[in-house]
A = this chain, B = another copy of it.
Amino acid sequence: MTASAYDWSSTLKGFHDQAWKSLARGVADRRAAARHPTLATVGLNGGAEARTVVLRAADRTDGMLELHTDRDSEKVAELHANPAASLHIWDLRVRMQIRLRVLIRCHQGALATERWQQVPSVSRWAYGGNPAPGGLIHRPTDYRADTDVDRFMLLLCTVQSMELLHLAEDGHRRALFRRADGFAGNWLAP
């Protein structure tokens, strides 16, 4: 086998490394694919819901990811009822799909206070306002943006498993890495 640009997915370790590289890049670079994962949750009516979120932190050592949200958004109510969610990323640059099954804890304690200090003042209006996100209004501009630190909430995501698919030119590769076995990984049929 000759070396190629696709060698990173030829071993479980290389595959797993690449996924965390994509996640770290998402935190650091606002134009990277992993900056904007799709968060899937189970909705209050029992069906699946999905929306774009912003990846704020990724910690490989603990297998943790962090998102920020408005406490009064519907996804918080959904996560209180069912914390088993997924984050999905399609990283075109490396032709890799990342599917993260996560358990999400909604948090407003000391860590949130610390993070709030790092939120640029021009971005703080995203937390607060009236009516809350998703509230019915008569005209498109019938809402008041506002800043309310009490509405700032962290979503702390513990990665339970990470499923990767690489659409390599010399054949698709798919693998599953589970917390239960220390993320050692298994190959799957793609």
Contacts and interface: CB of A to CB of B under 8 A. Distances in A.
A87 to B, nearest CB: 8
**Quick one: copies of this chain in the complex?**
2
Given A40-B48, A90-B52, A97-B51, A188 B136 contact: yes
A49 B135 contact: no
Contacts of A45: 84
Interface stretch (A61-69, A140-148, A150-158): A140-148
Contacts of A43: 84
A38 B88 contact: yes
Contacts of A138: 187
- Output the residue of A41, A42, A50, A101 with the most chain B CB within 10 A: A50
Given A40-B50, A84-B47, A137 B90 contact: no
A85 interface: yes
A134 B50 contact: no
